[in-house]
Amino acid sequence: MTTLPEPAPRPAADAANTGLVRSVLRSPRGAIVVAFLVVLILACALAPLIAPYDPLAQHLSAVRSGPSGRYWLGTDSLGRDLLSRLLHGGRSSLLGVLEAVVTLLIVAVPTGLLAGYLGGTFDRIAMRVAEVVMSVPVIIILLAVLSIFEHSMTSAMIAFGVLGSSGLMRVIRGSALAAREELYVTAAELMGLSRLQVVVRHVLPRCRGAIIIQASLFAAVTLGVQTGLTFLSLGPPPPAATWGGMVADAASVFNQDAWMLVPPGVTIALTVLAFGLLGDVVRDVSAEKYAAAPAARRKRRSGTPDTAGRPEPATDMLLSVRDLSVATDGGRPLRLLDAVGFDIAAGETVGLVGESGSGKTMTARAVIGLLPGNCRITSGQVVFDGSPVQDLDQRAFRKLRGRRIAMISQEPMAALDPSFRIGSLVAEVVRAVDGIKGKAVHARVIELLRMVEIPDPEAVARRFPHQISGGMAQRVAIAMAIAGRPELLIADEPTTALDVTVQAEILDLLRSLQQQNNMAILLVTHDWGVVADVCTKVVVMYAGQVVETAPTGEVFDRPAHPYTRALLLSSPENTHVGERIQAIPGSVPTPQRWPAGCRFASRCDLAQPGCTEGAIPVKDISEGRLSRCLRVDTLLGGEARR
Amino acid sequence: MLKLLAHRVALSIPLVLLVSVVVFALESLVPGDPARTILGENATPEGIAALHQQMGLDQPWLERYWHWLSGLFHGDLGASLFTGDAVTSELNSRLGVTVSLVLCCVLVSAVAGTALGMFSAIRGGPAARVVDVLSLTGLALPNFWVAIVLVALFAVKIRLFPATGYVALAESPGHWVRSLVLPVIALSLFGVTAVAKQARDATLEVQDTDYIRVLRGNGVSESRIVLKHMLRNAAIPVVTVLGVVAVSMLSGTVFVEGVFVLPGLGSLATQATTDHDLPVILGIGVYFTVMVIILNLLVDLAYGMLNPKVRAS
């Protein structure tokens, strides 16, 4: 029996470990599990005092009686009380688990700590030995031990603890390795603490969660093995009561009385489960401790739509988004997009600009119907080529995807399934959108690869994604996207992950493909250079809202929202050599902290008291220009070229 | 890939040595006379003397170990203390049962576990809860207990399958399958749940990758995405857990074979332990170790075939 490898919990700080026990007890699952184990252990430990009968006493007048007032769990085929036998049998089982777990800790904790903390030769030898020990068929060693030390369950359990220690050792080594890099550990070393002191005081506490998790899972496995061995009557010889032995007794008479199987089976299962769950609870609790504490939720009003005076979707546009709101599912839905609206005409390239967390990607994913599983469109319309698509189910949406709307994503490497060859991946899409079969597919694949200007497409088609460069991978991703000759391409930061020279090539490629096919592009980016290069229109987003919409030609000279202006100023292209980049102070508020008024007010140097009072309406400034700012006149007036 | 396999084979030699050294060393640790322990309280002096002779107990344990080890290289694992038969011939006659059982269980665990895990990940909601609860029970119920309950239900109550016994595949494939159904269910319960858990986590992870989103976004059908791309990528972590599962199943045969009276290595191991038949236990140790090595090799091979990055290197 081998414990399954469990992922090590994230490294903990000392402080995070304090109160681990309290957190476990406070979670309902943890409380139940701990209560069950405490009651079970006490009941078994006190069995001689509390068991209703002697476990060996035969009540021949009540053989194989079911549960009754006299015998709560019934009796076995010799009339022995099952409850008393369970309580007494639990003593050897739980003692066995304790022996194995203590052995495990004695062996694994010091070796793991030293291997991780000291490294070097000791670490290498320890890891090698662990690797070999992990493959040992443990059961055979246990049988040999039981054969040599007759009926000595203690020896078998100690052997089991030793053989099982390699798993825990590896986990502790991992934590210790991580701890060694921590500043406070280095500081402790510099202060002159001995290695032993550092390990015991600073490294060991960090491993506590991992140790408890592994030890409780190991306890679960041990109990299974211990009861199995007693089932094979290799443990304490009959008539001594053991859990496994009770199953064996029941097995010999299940034809006459199946009930006898229930008490030991259920007890073993529940105990194994309790040990296993204890590990899970500790893991969950320690994982929660490192996740950010949930932020206080403020009362928020939703904003006004992004399209002043034009609440109805435009029917002459290829894509028209109106009043689009997206929120998470669940009891306390969290609004991620707030009344977003914009239009894209056929063949037009629109840039969707904003910092991380502004909602650009979420908007793009809503348009193509691929929101994350826990998010939903709560209101608004997405109209593609005159028909609303926001309520389409996945099946109906699939008819649009690839053929009419397609997408490429930010990380070209991550966008290609690593298990398949390039040719096969492109062919997958070709078959889906083109309805062609056989040799024609391959010809089309090569044609597409050629269209995205890949040299030697035949050779590239035979490669795996990890064998090509990032730029090449993005070309392949574009080939997949244009396979169905889409009218709209959603490109989520298509050049962010690429080198500057490759970026320019990809943008050129997108532009030429767009002109050849009259394809509209929704380009998500935070790079003004890219916007200037390819976009005809810019939609600026901040904290889930559109704050400005403008033709590209105008936005650079006359931004109509302080956020746009700040974004432009912070862009490296607008900074002269030797100047400091003017970063925007603060950060985008998370959806939990969206204020009722202007969401940018706290970072804005034009903010007035009125800005924070209520939702800011969108103003129509001029043809094709919208701004969500109360002070747009000031901005466009005197201070536009600050 | 070749490097990976070479590493695995290189590990196998210390593994066999470790298992056997431990057993021999333990034997030398036993207080008193091992022959007396083996023969029990009622042993005659002549019997003990004969056993001393047979086991070579007059020699130090290292020498005895060396003797055993040189026998191993000639394919000789000594003779059973109990029956006097050669250990290898005894084990070879039982090997087929255990190999059939373990391979069927690995297969069932892989297929059923992956299907359940992916179903739970893709469906989510109540379906996932059901799979979770099933997994918990599967992990918690001891396999020998499940074995007895299966016999009680499907062999005695409803006479669907034979309660005990084994029919070789060569003899009658139909009966071979029937004789293995219940043991395989009992033994693969743990494997199915362990694989399902891994498959679920892996699928959830794959589901949220860019490449699945891109395939979806570019119009590839859901069935192709699930059956080709998700399955293929989720299979990589599943294969690694299968190695662990296979090894634990080998151990499980010791508990389960007895219940179904399958004449395999596991039931022989139990018998040999009761009889203090150390040469047989050591022999089974060697066989199990070799099987573990082969299973790990198969896992490595499968891993390499599924993961193009490993295959290429």
Does residue A69 carry a pLDDT above 70? yes
Confidence of residue B313 (pLDDT cuts 50, 70, 90): low
Q: Are A304 and A618 in contact (CB under 8 A)?
A: yes
Does residue A456 carry a pLDDT above 90? yes
Lowest mean pLDDT among A231-235, B3-7, B71-75, B191-195: B3-7
* Same domain as A484, residue A404: yes
Confidence of residue A11 (pLDDT cuts 50, 70, 90): very low
Q: Residue A106: what pLDDT?
A: 95
Does residue A205 carry a pLDDT above 70? yes
Question: Beta strand pairing status for A335-344 and A387-388?
Answer: unpaired
**CA dist., res. A262 & res. A41, Å (int):** 20
* Same domain as A456, residue A486: no
Residue A197 makes CB contacts below 8 A (sequence gap 6+) with A188
Q: Residue A226: what pLDDT?
A: 94
**Could you please report the per-residue DSSP string of B265-313?**
HHHHHHHHHHTT-HHHHHHHHHHHHHHHHHHHHHHHHHHHHH-HHHHH-
Instruction: Tell whether B284 is covered by a domain.
Output: yes
**Could you please report the per-residue DSSP string of B130-148?**
HHHHHHHHHHHS-HHHHHH
Instruction: Tell whether B3 is covered by a domain.
Output: no
Q: Residue B29: what pLDDT?
A: 73
DSSP character for A203? I
**CA dist., res. A320 & res. A340, Å (int):** 11
* Same domain as A406, residue A446: no
Instruction: Tell whether B82 is covered by a domain.
Output: no
User: What would the pLDDT profile of B212-237 be if each residue is shown by its tens digit?
Assistant: 999 999 999 989 999 999 999 999 88
**CA dist., res. A509 & res. A475, Å (int):** 9
* Same domain as A207, residue A228: yes
Lowest mean pLDDT among A99-108, A546-555, A571-580, B59-68: A571-580
User: What would the pLDDT profile of B268-283 be if each residue is shown by its tens digit?
Assistant: 999 998 888 888 998 9
Instruction: Tell whether A642 is covered by a domain.
Output: no
* Same domain as A261, residue A159: yes
Search chain A and give the residue with CA nearest B149: A261
Instruction: Tell whether A237 is covered by a domain.
Output: yes
Q: How far does A538 lie from chain B, in Å, by closest CA? A: 23
Does residue A289 carry a pLDDT above 60? no
Q: Residue B311: what pLDDT?
A: 67
Confidence of residue B312 (pLDDT cuts 50, 70, 90): low
User: What would the pLDDT profile of A527-560 be if each residue is shown by its tens digit?
Assistant: 898 899 899 999 999 999 999 999 998 888 889 8
Domain that holds residue B307: 87-312
Q: What is the mean pLDDT of residues B185-199?
A: 91
Tokens linked to A615: 């939702």
* Same domain as A608, residue A563: yes
Q: Residue B105: what pLDDT?
A: 95
* Same domain as A443, residue A368: no
Q: Are B24 and B64 in contact (CB under 8 A)?
A: yes
Nearest to B308 among A148, A408, A464 (CB): A464
Instruction: Tell whether B150 is covered by a domain.
Output: yes
Chain B hits for A254, Cβ within 8 Å: 148, 151-152, 156
Cα angle B259-B263-B268, degrees, rounded to a multiple of 5: 85
Residue B264: closest CA among B255, B273, B274:
B255
Tokens linked to B188: 């693969």
| Helices A120-134/A82-118 angle, 10° precision | 150
Q: What is the mean pLDDT of residues A453-466?
A: 93
Q: How far does A329 lie from chain B, in Å, by closest CA? A: 13
DSSP character for A65? -
Q: What is the mean pLDDT of residues B17-43?
A: 75
Instruction: Tell whether A245 is covered by a domain.
Output: yes
Q: Residue A252: what pLDDT?
A: 85
Tell me the pLDDT of chain A averaged across its residues: 85
Q: Residue A89: what pLDDT?
A: 92
Q: Residue A422: what pLDDT?
A: 94
Q: Are A244 and A226 in contact (CB under 8 A)?
A: yes
Q: Residue A308: what pLDDT?
A: 55
Q: How far apart are the first and last CA of chain A?
A: 72
Nearest to B15 among A135, A370, A432 (CB): A135
Chain B hits for A273, Cβ within 8 Å: 136, 139-140
**CA dist., res. B47 & res. B42, Å (int):** 10
**CA dist., res. A12 & res. A43, Å (int):** 35
**CA dist., res. B200 & res. B51, Å (int):** 55
Q: Residue A107: what pLDDT?
A: 95
Q: Residue A612: what pLDDT?
A: 85
Chain B hits for A133, Cβ within 8 Å: 18
Instruction: Tell whether A58 is covered by a domain.
Output: no
Q: Residue B111: what pLDDT?
A: 95
**CA dist., res. B248 & res. B238, Å (int):** 15
Q: Residue A303: what pLDDT?
A: 57
Residue B158 makes CB contacts below 8 A (sequence gap 6+) with none
Lowest mean pLDDT among A325-339, A581-595, B50-64, B79-93: B50-64
CATH code assigned at B97: 1.10.3720.10
Search chain A and give the residue with CA nearest B237: A5
Question: Beta strand pairing status for A625-627 and A545-551?
Answer: antiparallel
CATH code assigned at A365: 3.40.50.300
**CA dist., res. B81 & res. A573, Å (int):** 86
**CA dist., res. A135 & res. A566, Å (int):** 60
Q: Kindly state the percentage of chain A with pLDDT values over 90.
A: 38
Instruction: Tell whether B145 is covered by a domain.
Output: yes
Distances (CA, A) of B225 to A397, A620, B257, B307: 15, 45, 41, 18
* Same domain as A434, residue A379: no
**CA dist., res. A426 & res. A461, Å (int):** 8
Residue A166: closest CA among A220, A222, A126, A202:
A126
Confidence of residue A304 (pLDDT cuts 50, 70, 90): low
Q: What is the mean pLDDT of residues B76-90?
A: 87
Does residue B188 carry a pLDDT above 90? yes
Q: How far does A362 lie from chain B, in Å, by closest CA? A: 13
Chain A hits for B23, Cβ within 8 Å: 141, 144, 148
Contact between chains at B149 and A428 (C-beta distance less than 8 A): no
Contact between chains at B312 and A410 (C-beta distance less than 8 A): no
Q: What is the mean pLDDT of residues A91-105?
A: 95
How many CB atoms neighbour CB A306 within 10 A? Answer: 26
Does residue A294 carry a pLDDT above 60? no
How many CB atoms neighbour CB A37 within 10 A? Answer: 19
Instruction: Tell whether B92 is covered by a domain.
Output: yes
Q: Are A400 and A484 in contact (CB under 8 A)?
A: no
Instruction: Tell whether B68 is covered by a domain.
Output: no
User: What would the pLDDT profile of A107-157 be if each residue is shown by its tens digit?
Assistant: 999 999 888 888 889 999 998 888 888 878 889 899 989 888 877 899 999
* Same domain as A407, residue A438: no
Domain that holds residue A445: 419-463
* Same domain as A546, residue A577: yes
Select from A243, A276, A292 the last residue of a domain.
A292
Chain B hits for A367, Cβ within 8 Å: none
Confidence of residue B109 (pLDDT cuts 50, 70, 90): very high
Q: What is the mean pLDDT of residues B32-46?
A: 72
Domains identified in chain B, total number: 1
* Same domain as A378, residue A268: no
Confidence of residue A99 (pLDDT cuts 50, 70, 90): very high
Q: What is the mean pLDDT of residues A432-461?
A: 92
Cα angle B170-B174-B176, degrees, rounded to a multiple of 5: 55
Report if pTM > 0.90.
no
Does residue B56 carry a pLDDT above 80? no
Contact between chains at A411 and B210 (C-beta distance less than 8 A): yes
Q: Residue A425: what pLDDT?
A: 94
Does residue B141 carry a pLDDT above 70? yes
Give B188 or A289, the one with higher predicted confidence. B188
* Same domain as A125, residue A259: yes
CATH code assigned at A180: 1.10.3720.10
Q: Which of A37, A148, A233 to mutate against chain B (most B CBs within 10 Å)? A: A148
Instruction: Tell whether B46 is covered by a domain.
Output: no
Domains identified in chain A, total number: 3
Does residue A593 carry a pLDDT above 90? no
Does residue A301 carry a pLDDT above 50? no
Q: What is the mean pLDDT of residues A62-80?
A: 84
